[in-house]
Chain A
Amino acid sequence: MNPDTAIPVAICLPLAVAVGIVLAGRISDNLREAVTLVGAAALAWVVWGMLPALFAGDRPAVELSQLMPGLSIGFRVEPLGMLFAALASGLWIINSVYSIGYMRGNREKNQTRFYTCFALALAATMGIAFAANLFTLFLFYEMLTLSTYPLVSHKGDAATVRSARVYLGVLLCTSIGLFLPAIIWTYHVTGTGDFTVGGILSGHIQGADVGLLLALFVFGVGKAAVMPVHRWLPAAMVAPTPVSALLHAVAVVKAGVFTITKIIVYVFGVDFLFSEPSSGWLVYAAAFTIIAASLVALRQQNLKRLLAYSTVAQLSYVVMAAAVLKPLAEVGAAIHMVAHAFGKITLFFAAGAIYTAAKKTELSQLRGIGRRMPWTMGAFTVGALSMIGVPPTGGFVSKWYILAGAFQADNLLAIFTIIASTALNAAYFLPIIYMAWFAREESGSGDHGEAPPLVVLALTATALLTLGFFFFNGPVIELETQLVREAMR
């Protein structure tokens, strides 16, 4: 397919899938899930089909509608967005397989609504990935928030609705209260919001305003969960696990850090930001988030909440890497989005598998569970090692690049933070692994075996991806080196 036509197709396809799911859901469950799977595969085919053009240096673009002069809905594919889209669309296939196993295994209600909103969320994700300007990005950013709300509140009881309110409240308030003013400010001083290589703000804004605008962007993009706007992520854990896995480990949170990285690279411009001392606070904010979130994770008793705080910390790795403003660190930021996605989706899949098979959610219940669920806990171990950054897992690669970037910048704070947080990660993940494999099972914890086969299939696949990324990461690095070469001349 021609890359230019592939962009609208990639965005409209999930929308069409959503409609198809609604219609098919009235006929039969099997048909509905077939539509989901076929749609996911088709989306991946369309998105991945754009890759060769990107490697060839092509930047496909298309403009949908011009609302008023300077304000338009348009799309342009560049390496960072391509990576994000490819990641989300690829993992949607695996996640759909997992969803089917999980939703059936737990006999969840309103499954049609679940799959429909999931498809809508993917459409929004594609829109974010390919957005050519701030307005388009904001449009799909809000669409992602709103389409995931029904997923978070899926269960519908009072506690869930309360958490979902936190989710929606934090994300919408930050985006309308901070992100939107930042966008308007940008349009106001530059007259445009197009993502341009080298940035658009240089020469239009200076001094303390740069730091202020950056703060509006960073805290306005609540999806990146830089403290103190991280509260929504633990709240979102009330959602069914497939939602936590794909959306709150990959699509939604990555949309946040992706947005911040994109703004740093294409709106501020790396060189401009580096020359403005007032932007330096971002590394500190990210470092604080990493350490603080890891410490909070240490104290969690609920597995999914622990994973959520771990995600908060890992997201700030990406923010910090982007904020270091050195070529290797920018590459590291991009790679870490991929590596963390593989690892964290595996961990969530495992958490969901444990819940489906044994209805266990607390850490204390996991003693000796490895012997009952060897595949699940094996995958969990791989994911946890990747979070810590132990070879041969994907997490090692990205940490290596971020660390190298930090050395390039002589940024002692970043270096120290990475080392400290590695220790902390180990401190909260290793006990779980030890407990699961070596501790003796408590009596009366119920008799259960492995999770449903589809669930096991999915988590094994992502665990293999986590391992595989250690060995085969060449194309990703090549793609993102293009980005760095473009952005830092």
Chain B
Amino acid sequence: MDLTPHLPALQVIVPMLSAPLVLLLRPRGLAWAGAAAVAVLSFCIAASLAFAVARGEHFGYDMGGWRAPYGIELSVDAFSALMLLIVTGAGAVSLLAGRPSVDLQIEQERQPLFYAAFLLTLAGLVGITVSADAFNIFVFMEISSLASYVIIAGGPDRRALPAVFKYLIMGTIGATFYLIGVGLVYMMTGTLNLADLEARIGGVTDINPILMAAGFITVGLALKAAVFPLHVWLPNAYAHAPHMVTVFLAACATKVAIYVLIRFDFFVFQANLPGHQLQFSLFLLPLALMGILVASAVAMFEGHLKRLLAVSSVAQIGYIMLGASFVSQAGLVAAFAHMFNHALAKGGLFLAVACLACHYRDLRLDQLAGAARTMPLTAAAFVVCGFSLIGIPGTAGFISKWLLIGAALERDSSAFVLVAIILASSLMALVYIWRVVETLYFRPAVVEAEGPGEAPLQLLLVTWAVALANIGFGLFPRFPLALSSAAAELLLGHTR
């Protein structure tokens, strides 16, 4: 039997249905093995979808055989394929590497529960990505959010609890805003299928509810995506989550929200609302720039390693939004390429942090002084991924910076200001990464490492694989760029 046409459905069903099964795997280590196997399988499905999409195929799937727009449609195009790669890749990497770190942070008997929630988060994020139905996206968004609250709060750090409470409140408000927007749109058109919405909104005579819907949806999703200044939930939630959860969520969670924001906007609103392109630009561009500058500046003075990296994520989200706000082929390619590259860089950095955390309980910078002497390989991986975050040529991060600057130069107005801001924030990234590097390498040790030698091999190997991927995709970026530009063309095909 040829499974290829069913891949979009399998992509969601596999992790979702395995989650309860993982619960049953009580014996030590089995739950991990099961979850990791499922995550790797998901990644393989995503990869085969991505290769097929790169060849020019498009996957549509009617759930239960009900035809769209009446049934619920799943669809995989270049944009969702890229996103699927990021999400499942982050899931597979964090689970493959994660066992030693999870063993340290979560009691044995709660691990099956943890892994089940982890898989549900993965299933939710994947579900958002493949859904072509506005309400279905909401349901998957809530599945992933609820499960991610659980895994963030699952660690030993009590500070995670208030952080996750804040995340829960703001995440729910964001999702509810989205729901209000969807309701308004449904009220005016009578459909929830994205493609059908695009076709029908043009016929709506009273445009005001649609405008209001655009506002609610944009703000709601911006909240979920931690776009500045709606990012306040993010730093603490990431900083105090279990390390493996941070790896996973930092690499993909906010990007999925950005994905929905961009997709909804380009598929539904751009084509039908006069002047919407400009509104979209004018709303996001200043926020993106502020986010880039303010978050980078804050990161320069942050004293806790995980918080520093989390705050830097807010700046990086700014880069993605900046590219998207150009509403041009070059800008969108830059945004999508940066989604991919930032996932690589930040995932690698948090993996290195997880390695460090095996021997250092306290992750404040001054406590980590001299760690490179006990853990040289970990520190080196941190440096490589840090270069990618800064955008040193030869690493993946450079590619997206290059594209972003190129896209900024295409704009007639304010091109030089934009370039100056991008470069300034790169220099700020240099400062905050270098602070860490100097601390790790040169400052005299304050606390003794708790264990001898390097982090566990499993963790270290995956960390280095990601670090090398940062270099590999810096030198041979053809595949992600092909997907990105196909995605950008697709989206721009929907604008007027």
Contacts and interface: CB of A to CB of B under 8 A. Distances in A.
Q: Do chains A and B touch in the complex (CB under 8 A)?
A: yes
Interface of A: 64-68, 71, 73, 135, 138-139, 142-143, 146, 153, 156, 161, 165, 168, 172-173, 176-177, 180-181, 184-185, 187-188
12 contacts: A65-B475, A67-B478, A143-B394, A156-B442, A161-B442, A165-B434, A173-B430, A176-B390, A176-B391, A181-B419, A184-B406, A185-B409
A142 B406 contact: no
Given A65-B475, A73-B475, A176 B427 contact: yes
Interface residues of B, number: 27
B47 interface: no
A21 to B, nearest CB: 15
B71 interface: no
B438 interface: yes
Given A176-B430, A188-B409, A146 B423 contact: no
Interface of B: 387, 390-394, 399, 402-403, 405-406, 409, 419, 423-424, 426-427, 430, 434, 438, 441-442, 475-478, 481
Give the top 9 A-B pairs by smallest Cβ distance, nearest first.
A139-B393, A161-B442, A188-B409, A139-B394, A184-B405, A142-B392, A138-B393, A142-B393, A176-B426
B446 to A, nearest CB: 15
Contacts of B402: 71, 184
A177 B423 contact: yes
Given A180-B423, A184-B402, A142 B394 contact: yes
Nearest to B442: A161
B183 to A, nearest CB: 42
| Residue with the greatest number of chain B CB neighbours at <10 A, chosen from A66, A67, A177 | A67
B218 to A, nearest CB: 31
Given A71-B402, A181-B419, 11 more contacts: A65-B475, A67-B477, A138-B393, A142-B392, A146-B392, A172-B427, A173-B427, A177-B427, A180-B423, A184-B405, A184-B419
B386 to A, nearest CB: 11
A73 B424 CA distance: 26
Contacts of B405: 181, 184
B409 A184 contact: yes
Contacts of B478: 66-67
| Residue with the greatest number of chain B CB neighbours at <10 A, chosen from A73, A156, A180 | A180
A172 B386 CA distance: 14
A168 B393 contact: no
B442 A181 contact: no
Contacts of B419: 181, 184
B290 to A, nearest CB: 21
Given A143-B394, A176-B423, A176-B430, A153 B442 contact: yes
A161 B393 contact: no
A181 B423 contact: yes
Contacts of B394: 139, 142-143
A73 B394 CA distance: 10
A172 B442 contact: no
| Residue with the greatest number of chain B CB neighbours at <10 A, chosen from A68, A177, A181 | A68
A181 B424 CA distance: 11
Contact of A135 (B393, B442, B477): B393
Contacts of B426: 176
Nearest to B475: A65
A470 to B, nearest CB: 40
Given A168-B434, A184-B402, A184-B419, A68 B481 contact: yes
A143 B392 CA distance: 9
A188 B438 CA distance: 36
A370 B442 CA distance: 38
Contacts of A173: 427, 430
Contacts of B423: 176-177, 180-181
Contacts of A168: 434
B438 A165 contact: yes
A385 B331 CA distance: 57
Contacts of A187: 406
A34 B434 CA distance: 34
Contacts of B391: 176
A448 B426 CA distance: 51
| Residue with the greatest number of chain A CB neighbours at <10 A, chosen from B399, B426, B442 | B442
Nearest to A156: B442
Contacts of B406: 184, 187-188
A146 B387 contact: yes
A65 B476 contact: yes
Contacts of B441: 153
